[in-house]
Structure 1
Amino acid sequence: MDNFDYDLQSVQETRNLARQAKLAQTQLGKFNCEQIDKIIRSMVKAAEENAVSLASLAVEETGFGKIEDKTFKNRFASTELYEFIKPMQTIGVIKEDKVNKVMEIAEPVGVLMGIIPSTNPTSTAIYNAIIAIKSRNGIVFSPHPSALKCTLQAARLMNDAAVAAGAPANIIGCISKPSMNATNELMKCDEVAMIIATGGSAMVKAAYSAGKPALGVGPGNVPAYIERTANISQAVKNIITSKTFDNGTICASEQSVIVEECIRDQVVEEFKRLGGYFMTPAETSQVAQKLFVRGHAMNAKMVGRSAKFIADNAGITIPAGTKVLLGEQQGVGEGYPLSYEKLTTVLAFYTVKDWEEACDLCIKLLHNGGVGHSLSIHTETPAMAMKFSEKPVFRILVNTPSTHGGVGLSTGLAPAFTLGCGTWGGSATSDNVTPLHLINIKRVAYGIKDCTENTTPSHSACEAQSSSSSSISEDQIMNVVNEVISLLKKRGDK
């Protein structure tokens, strides 16, 4: 099959999927809470039962990450997510203000388009499908070509489980012949009401330019600041736990470690003790050359890889058991390659004099590809955490692994794999996306103030008043003048 025929079939498939999802969603929009909950429980069960096989398929197809961690993500995107969203009111009357007599009623958005990244291809599909159904929406996925099989399998499992529990057929669809033309077609087709874009910045920008409401996620370039009062052993343990989780494929993972001079030696020793390898400048350069292509774009072959895999490919020798590679950097931007996002087991390492220098450095790093996303700080001084809450991000994660904290695993944030970056990061939301972002709210509002007796005087009434006030007789005018003259004479006598 030539490219022309493939593109035609790809676009036609996309149109069919959108139409089918729209028909299904029209029916799903009439379902009640009990029906929706039954469907979601069936989807969660299917995700749990297939968590390992989906994870294995994802690692086999993409080469990214670890089977055990992808298994955990699949369960987190289903079971943990369900416990969080179960009490959410997304159907019918969701709020009633009896004092002001306003009633809020939830309505579905319609058909969603879900753009799925290759780094989290099955967990993101599971998560998007469940939050879509919770809010009575249909969804059609556009998978990354390098993760087609596993995303398609996750989507089919979710759809089959939903239909088995009573959902209309084709409520969850997935493009099986991915292409840029198909993705663009799905973005712009009339049936799609909203886009959820989880992926690279180029794809997110494309989603926002499609002329539809969109929830996009920009890149993360998370700085991790270890402040002088931090519990150093716990801070380093948290960072390594986070950065090695699925080999750093989650955008909330740490990208740079920032330490103060007074604790530098302790931090370095703790990293070495727990499996960190500090590269020489030459080794750092060799690794950086392997990590990036076309400037600062991540080399797909290095995404989500172990420290050993990266070291072997870069031609450097590291100790057995090394978990993360660290390279010292003296600046941010051009000439300092590790200052950019690295979705793998490599960290930049910076030394600063004090918290104020750390503050400036964090801002530079965030503006180097992660503004709006997340920042990690390790400190035993609450006031210091509040100082860093002023930084241009919407998740300030304190004393926790950044990966786990950002997605709501180790924090009280909403469990999510779509992490909004707010207007600073070009996103329509700064939240962890939940079903509440996927509903419309209509309001029934009763009159509580009588406006019929308290109206502004009309133009004609004002004119009448003006006319009346100007009709003063000559005698009245002369009397006023004589009174003024008499008053002035009396003052003169005095």
Structure 2
Amino acid sequence: MTTLDKDLASIQEVRTLVARAKMAQKQIALLPQEKIDEAIEGLSKIAYENAESLAKLAHEETGYGKWEDKKAKNVLASKTLCEYMRPMKTIGVIEEDPDLKILKIGTPMGVIAGLIPSTNPTSTVIYKALIAIKAGNSIVFSPHPAALKCITETVHVLREACYLHGLPEDTISCVTMPTIEATDALMKHADVNMILATGGSAMVKAAYSSGTPALGVGPGNVPAYIEKTADVDVAVARIFKSKQFDYGTVCASEQSIVTEKCIEQKVREAVIKKGGYFLRGEDLEKVKRIMERPNGGMNPQIVGRSAQYIAELAGIEIPPQTQLLVSDEPGIGSRFPFSKEKLTQLLGFYVVNDWQEACETCIALLENGGLGHSLAIHSNDESIIRAFAMKKPVSRFLVNTPSTHGAVGLTTGLAPSFTLGCGTVGGSATGDNVTPLHLINLRWVAYGLDEAPEKEASTGATQDEIAMICKMVLEQLNR
């Protein structure tokens, strides 16, 4: 008996899963909106009931973040998302304009491929499964190998929920032998109709290059600007709440503070009071040495880790109450690691003269690996807020709120989402927080309002008119 090697076996598994997902989708495509909504309520409830156990499993397996915050993300992806989607129409007639005599009919896309990262594994599975099914689709997940156990367990919980609530179990499925070849085969499969890509830049680019329609997210290098009219203590507290959430694993977390010289001392004191530790000298150099891999990418060993863990890894001593390691970064670019995305307890610090200079600094930070994603501003000057918003190349401009919580819809009116589009400036097909409405095709039914006008018959020019034109042409030629 011939045993396939892992790569070939994983590709065959993908083919089998997609075939089953296609059959399942054909069945759920026949269900009315009411039945889909009943199933969503049931799946959401079961995911919510398992939010804590799945969070603990994710933390135990990956070592990233805090299980308490992972639980909060699971709640957002289940209960909060379900509440948001409850009134949403996705199947059949979803909108009607009697004046224009137009109907909008929602139809499912088909089979969705869901790429899942190791930083937010269980919450992203729950979220993508619910938005896919709400739109009448099935979904096949490609898990990050570092989070395989918790992802497959989450899928198992959701598959059981599908069975209990009248959906085919293969509405949701997961690759159990994750390889690069399997992910590539999934993205390029002829029966996959859409890719939801959440992961590293290389993976997202591969999704867009696969030949299959894709919705991907870019990296976030989120600046947080504290303007001089802000309540400094409140602004810093928001930033710390956001950056410490799950130890910074959400791509919308703040990566740098930008503030003005006139309030610099207040901001520094507030940062220190909240548990920020400004790195200096040899301590700073030691931390910089472990921040990145030789190719300049983020060192996975520090992702989603506490300040104390990073300090021990770097071989430095810090005060026991330290929550964030902060550095005054003299520049922006490849030579300045604190100016880049850091999904952990590291924060850059920049001081500028005024809001105009802050504007340029924030743009430079975004251009250094965060174009199209998000920016946070803390200010009580509405004119500056509006001026800032008009110029920034971001999809989410978050005002007086923790960036992490605001971007994913916890503390703002934005849609609850773990796929945050970055727009074309960030290489994405959308700048929205992705919802079920991004996973349906629209069929436009348009009734005639008027008959097409009859084409008037040409009477042609008279002989006198032709003679006059010829005379004018000859006169021009003789000049």
TM range, normalised to the smaller chain? over 0.9
Distance 1:473 1:215, change over 3 A: closer
Structure 2 match to 1:86: 86
The correspondence of residues 92-491 of structure 1 with structure 2, limited to 5 A, is 92-389=92-389, 390-451=391-452, 454-457=453-456, 461-462=457-458, 464-466=459-461, 469-470=462-463
Q: CA deviation at 1:388?
A: 1.2
Cα pair 1:78 1:127 within 8 Å, conserved: yes
Structure 2 match to 1:5: 5
Q: What letter corresponds to residue 421 of structure 1 in structure 2?
A: C
Deviations 1:389-445 (A, max 9, x none): 020001110111000000010000000000000000000000000000000010111
Q: CA deviation at 1:289?
A: 1.4
- Tell me if 1:50 matches 2:64: no
Distance 1:360 1:281, change over 3 A: farther
Distance 1:221 1:3, change over 3 A: farther
Q: Percent identity?
A: 54
Structure 2, unpaired ranges of 5+: 469-479
Q: CA deviation at 1:473?
A: 13
Structure 2 match to 1:486: none
Structure 2 match to 1:66: 66
Q: What letter corresponds to residue 91 of structure 2 in structure 1?
A: I
Structure 2 match to 1:487: none
Q: CA deviation at 1:163?
A: 2.0
Q: What letter corresponds to residue 191 of structure 1 in structure 2?
A: D
Q: What letter corresponds to residue 391 of structure 1 in structure 2?
A: K
Q: What letter corresponds to residue 49 of structure 1 in structure 2?
A: E
Q: Give the distance between the partners of 2:285 and 2:449, measured in 1 at CA.
A: 70
Q: CA deviation at 1:329?
A: 0.4
SS at match of 1:432: coil
SS at match of 1:297: coil
Q: CA deviation at 1:134?
A: 0.4
Q: CA deviation at 1:284?
A: 2.1
Structure of higher CA gyration radius: 1
Q: CA deviation at 1:285?
A: 2.0
Q: What letter corresponds to residue 398 of structure 1 in structure 2?
A: V
Structure 1 residue ranges, 4+ long, deviating more than 3 angstroms after superposition: 471-474
Q: What letter corresponds to residue 354 of structure 1 in structure 2?
A: D
Deviations 1:434-475 (A, max 9, x none): 000000010111111111xx2333xxx43x523xx116999x
Q: What letter corresponds to residue 465 of structure 1 in structure 2?
A: G
Q: Give the distance between the partners of 2:161 and 2:230, measured in 1 at CA.
A: 47
Cα pair 2:65 2:305 within 8 Å, conserved: yes
Q: CA deviation at 1:111?
A: 0.4
Q: CA deviation at 1:294?
A: 2.7
**Residues 46-55 or 16-25, more deviating:** 46-55
Q: What letter corresponds to residue 268 of structure 1 in structure 2?
A: R
Q: Give the distance between the partners of 1:456 and 1:365, measured in 2 at CA.
A: 58
Q: Give the distance between the partners of 1:149 and 1:310, measured in 2 at CA.
A: 26
Q: Give the distance between the partners of 2:164 and 2:19, measured in 1 at CA.
A: 21
**Residues 423-432 or 276-285, more deviating:** 276-285
SS at match of 1:300: coil
After superposition, the CA RMSD in angstroms is 1.6
Cα pair 2:216 2:428 within 8 Å, conserved: yes
Cα pair 1:281 1:327 within 8 Å, conserved: no
Cα pair 1:109 1:194 within 8 Å, conserved: yes
Cα pair 1:195 1:212 within 8 Å, conserved: yes
Cα pair 1:225 1:257 within 8 Å, conserved: yes
Q: CA deviation at 1:194?
A: 0.3
Q: Give the distance between the partners of 1:383 and 1:177, measured in 2 at CA.
A: 54
Q: What letter corresponds to residue 407 of structure 1 in structure 2?
A: V
Q: CA deviation at 1:3?
A: 11
Deviations 1:82-134 (A, max 9, x none): 00011001011111111111111100010000000100000000000000010
Q: Give the distance between the partners of 1:104 and 1:404, measured in 2 at CA.
A: 33
SS at match of 1:239: helix
SS at match of 1:444: strand
Q: Give the distance between the partners of 1:129 and 1:263, measured in 2 at CA.
A: 46
Q: Give the distance between the partners of 1:378 and 1:321, measured in 2 at CA.
A: 25
Q: Give the distance between the partners of 1:222 and 1:472, measured in 2 at CA.
A: 70
Cα pair 2:296 2:334 within 8 Å, conserved: no
Q: What letter corresponds to residue 254 of structure 2 in structure 1?
A: E
Distance 1:420 1:472, change over 3 A: closer
Q: CA deviation at 1:4?
A: 6.4
Q: What letter corresponds to residue 386 of structure 2 in structure 1?
A: M
Cα pair 1:280 1:327 within 8 Å, conserved: yes
Q: CA deviation at 1:351?
A: 0.9
Q: Give the distance between the partners of 1:284 and 1:348, measured in 2 at CA.
A: 12
- TM superposition score normalised by structure 2: 0.95
Q: Give the distance between the partners of 2:156 and 2:150, measured in 1 at CA.
A: 10
Query: What count of residue pairs does the alignment treat as equivalent?
Result: 466
**Residues 136-145 or 51-60, more deviating:** 51-60
Q: CA deviation at 1:162?
A: 1.6
